[in-house]
Amino acid sequence: MTGIPPNSSPDPDTALFSEDDLEAARVLFAQQASFMMGAVKMDGLPPGDVPEVAFAGRSNVGKSSLINALVGHKKLARASNEPGRTREINFFVLADRIRLVDLPGYGFARVSRSAADKFQNLGRAYLRGRPNLKRVYLLIDARHGLKDVDKEALDALDVSAVSYQIILTKADKIKPSEAAALVVKTQAQIAKRPAAFPRVLATSSEKGGGIPDLRAEIMTVCAA
């Protein structure tokens, strides 16, 4: 599994998903995916008539790369080397059935505090007022683990009462044993958080590790 633990279940002997589920998710994510729109205000959001999952995380944690890996497109979501470039909520539609939502990054290094607050407030407003939002995937760089700025995001998600799940990115950059230990540590760190989904996934957009399981997670939560 490209050097990444084969699953991130609390029970290491239990597979996350059946082969049928993984195949169904692969087929779903192989269908047409396209950019729908970017919104800078809440009144500019598309209708809430399609299940949505949102991706959040620090700048340069790999949100765009992960979205691209999920749908098998290298350039669907635009990655940038400039922290804080994503200053709007970007919507991508998959097979006319699911929307993948790229939220503004937090922890901006090159924008003013007031500007950063504006973008982050837009993300918070989306979390509070989006009834068709099924889950938020909070991306954490596996090389660093949860930082204080991430814990602020966890607090905001708990207050918003939106189900969220931790996804470790760039897990191929550390040893498999380190990735496995980080999964366990992170699960313990979020165990008492009311809105946190208890399973943590380790992924690599570059190598493909963990991507099939994440596709199946998204397919399952959007079908619920």
- What is the predicted pLDDT for the residue at 108? 41
- What is the predicted pLDDT for the residue at 6? 46
Listed residue (128, 47, 142, 36) closest to 89, CA to CA: 36
173/69 Cα distance (integer angstroms): 16
- What is the predicted pLDDT for the residue at 120? 59
Proportion of the chain above pLDDT 90, given as a percent: 58
Higher pLDDT, 88 or 187: 187
pLDDT digits (tens, 9 = 90+) for 113-126: 454 454 456 777 88
Q: What is the mean pLDDT of residues 59-87?
A: 77
pLDDT digits (tens, 9 = 90+) for 120-156: 567 778 888 789 999 999 999 999 999 988 888 898 8
Residue 93: partners with Cβ closer than 8 Å, 6 or more residues away: 33, 34, 36, 50, 99, 100
Residue 173 tokens, joined: 């950059």
Residue 5 · residue 179 · CB < 8 Å: yes
Q: In 3-state terms, the chain is what percent helix, strand and coil (to 5)?
A: 35, 20, 45
pTM: 0.87
Task: Please give the mean pLDDT across all residues of the chain.
Answer: 84
